[in-house]
Structure 1
Amino acid sequence: MSATKLLVLGVVHLSGGAHGYQVRSELQSWGAEIWAKIKPGSIYHALKKAAADGLLNEHAEPGNSGPDRVLYRVTDRGRDEIVELVRDGLRRTHDPTMLDAAVAMLPMLTRADAIAHVDERVARLEAELVGQAQGWENPNSDIPEHVREQADLWAGRARTELEWAKSLSKRLSEGAYTMADDPGSWRTVPDPLEMRF
């Protein structure tokens, strides 16, 4: 649920406000139903739950010859939640869906914050690889050989992810992507609804 929550909140926020259908369409255009395993019903459930939890505000708008539509906008608490979920997804290992969602919402962090959490992931992966290698090297272990194959698979994935994370940290350090503290980011662009007043 955390990945769905993050993506739904993030799309609403980066859109400046959105209806459920808009959130669903945006996530479908990203292929999120595949890499985040998001189902359309879970999007609407996440919107309603986030509104009930005070992470989104709901604004009724007249529908075109039908019932009112609900426009969702992220609250300050919702923005804080997005940032915490991105941080958690970047540093948490063994949860590829949450990592994918965090990468999709990476611009919600400041550059230094993003680098720090990616670097924390690097450190965790390095420590896990060392620990895993030491744990499986015991010749007296009763672990079947075919189960050891799974450990090799995990280690291969972890090494690949480690190289990717190091590369991402380097690219961020070199200025890749518009981050939250950069000109033109979500934090530096005026909120169109706030400008009306």
Structure 2
Amino acid sequence: MVLGLLMKGPMSGYDMQQLLQLSKTDAWAGVLPGSIYHALKKMDKEGLVTVDSVEQTGHRTKAIYRITEEGEEQFYQLLQQSLALPSVIFPTTFYTAVSFIDALPKDRIIAAIESQRTALRKQYDEMKAGEEEKSQFVNLTEPAKIIFRNMYDQFEIQLSMLDQLEAAIRSQPD
């Protein structure tokens, strides 16, 4: 993600962090805000990025990084590898819990399902808001639109499964 952002042009870690949070990309990209600075320092040592300039704002200094030729080559390799990897990930912890669901009383099972449903709907709404926010600043490419649709489909599939699971639990005798 960091190398990809720098392919668009030089920027600071703070700028990357703000861009990822504003567009809600941090929610699906697995990039923790503090990890950006660590990654930049590590990549600087590896010669993948370099400090392009340093800006002084009041008492703060901000390093602006740019990608190097080695970083560009690494980016292209990582991009190709990432596109080739299978990307379906199952919620294994949840599936394991369902395997032993009979160990809990019905009311606790339903409360847990409702809690997960609420959390998923919140994430779903945040993702939609992130897409809307992002589309105000950049023209979303067709691949980006496909990614968003796929994420929404994943949420909807999981929510449907929770509805089915809850209905099955409610239909069981006490």
> TM-score normalized by structure 2?
0.48
Instruction: Between the two structures, name the one with larger relative contact order (CA 8 Å, sep ≥ 6).
Output: 2
> TM-score normalized by structure 1?
0.43
Higher helix share: 2
